[in-house]
Amino acid sequence: MAGWTDFEASAPDIAAAGKRLLSAQGVGYGFLGTVRKDGGPRMHPICPVIAAGQLYAFIVDMGYKYHDLLRDSRFALHAFPPPQGGEEFYLTGSARPIPDNAARAAVVAATNGAQGTQPFEALFAFDISHALHTFWTDWGTPRAWPTFNKWKAM
């Protein structure tokens, strides 16, 4: 597993595309996949934050995704597609709760206070095992063709 800094150092082009796509709306947006108690998949929209060399998200402690991640830390995160289409970004790995107040303050500051100010917002760090950036040449035409750029943590 790797933090964002290590991912960025070993795959700068993929990380740059991921950072751009995860924050394309001005704030981070993505779909978080977690594992339900029965082993099935569950999808949730979240607002990921890259701060202090790590990928984070505040997760409401009353929701399914919070309990899913505490029980089984595996995740998949897919960035919202850009409005023009033709590009995708996806990560997998393991999430862990971060009780550290200094880390929390840094992530709150990275969101300009828009996230993490409520006590029910639990902070999680997302350690990365795999990343995939897909770019579609000639998107929206019959000639559309994908180029896959993959990365795997050592």
Top CATH class, 4-152: mainly beta
Sequence-separated contacts (24+) of 136-143 with Cβ below 8 Å:
136/85, 136/86, 136/87, 139/84, 139/85, 139/86, 140/85, 140/86
Q: Read off the pTM.
A: 0.95
Give per-residue pLDDT as tens, 42-99.
999 999 999 999 999 999 999 999 999 999 999 999 999 888 899 999 999 999 999 9
Domain boundaries, the chain: 4-152
